[in-house]
A and B are shown apart, each in its own frame.
Chain A
């Protein structure tokens, strides 16, 4: 078996289906992180235009404050909320709080690393992200 066969790289990273829920959590945590970083860089550049004066700032607002810009903000709200709450789950797990007790492996072999408490936290992060998404939608498109 060649070494190259194991090097699927980003293709494997972007294929969360066919595994457990933990894999989806891993996938969403990384994708949301990349989305947030791209937004952060854009936001730093965007706010930097205010130093150009009133006219430049007005042009920036015209460019960003429109339905497309608001849709991007909604994706950021969804990503940010999920990333934050799922990140707290990861922190608590890595500190050993949500691991549960070791058990003998029994069929069907569900991964023990993703305990019931962690599954609850995962769905909680998805639910809260959706609530914040709807709140953001109301603020951005309800005015």
Chain B
């Protein structure tokens, strides 16, 4: 039952990522690619609230989808209660670390 819910979460985050990545790429292509990476342009992107919200959502959804994907791979290699608990714990920790690091960037750029 729990695995079924996790798989549904995997699918829904996957669909959300397609929409959010499209927004992310579109923001890069509204001007020449190299210009879009200039310091002031990147900072302005982070200070645009609707876009920042989409970035945070992208960060969370990709972290969940990506690390859950690795969890699925690791469970295909080896099974067992202890291993499954360890992999689940590791997945959660890695998701939290990456989301925390990305959120830190968003918060600090808004304070700059």
Contacts and interface: CB of A to CB of B under 8 A. Distances in A.
Contacts of B34: 65, 143
Interface in B17-40: 17-18, 21, 29, 32-34, 37, 39
Q: In the complex, which range does the number of interface residues on chain A fall in?
A: 20 to 34
A47 interface: yes
A80 B42 contact: no
Interface string A132-143: 000000011001
B70 A37 contact: yes
A44 B66 contact: no
B49 interface: no
A57 B45 CA distance: 15
Contacts of A84: 14, 17-18, 21
20 contacts: A9-B77, A10-B77, A30-B69, A33-B66, A34-B73, A37-B66, A40-B63, A40-B66, A45-B101, A47-B105, A48-B102, A48-B105, A50-B43, A50-B46, A50-B105, A54-B39, A65-B37, A88-B15, A94-B7, A94-B11
Interface of A: 9-10, 13, 30, 33-34, 36-37, 40-41, 44-45, 47-48, 50-51, 54, 57-58, 61, 65, 80, 84, 87-88, 91, 94, 139-140, 143
Interface of B: 7, 11, 14-15, 17-18, 21, 29, 32-34, 37, 39, 42-43, 46, 59, 62-63, 66-67, 69-70, 73, 76-78, 98, 101-102, 104-105, 108-109, 112
